[in-house]
Amino acid sequence: MENKKLEIRKQKVFEYLVIKHPTIEEAEQGNGSEIIVPLGQLCADDERGAFVRASRGIPEEHMNHESRLEVVIRPF
């Protein structure tokens, strides 16, 4: 049996959350931004990959407010 060296691809760990911001009218009524996807962790090659993976976790009921959503990514 041959002893083969395993090749690995290391990814980086990122933390993320998704925020939904209020409209001007909602803000005037006292509503603020709300976290719709709580803090989570994921592995990705880079920040762009982390953004794509985090975006997939946005609940369907919030997708009609896409322009009000912010995906926040930071390296762990």
pLDDT at 24 over 90: yes
pLDDT at 26: 94
30 φ/ψ sector (left φ>0, alpha ψ -120 to 50, else beta): left
| Residue 51 token pair | 């953004």
pLDDT at 49 over 80: yes
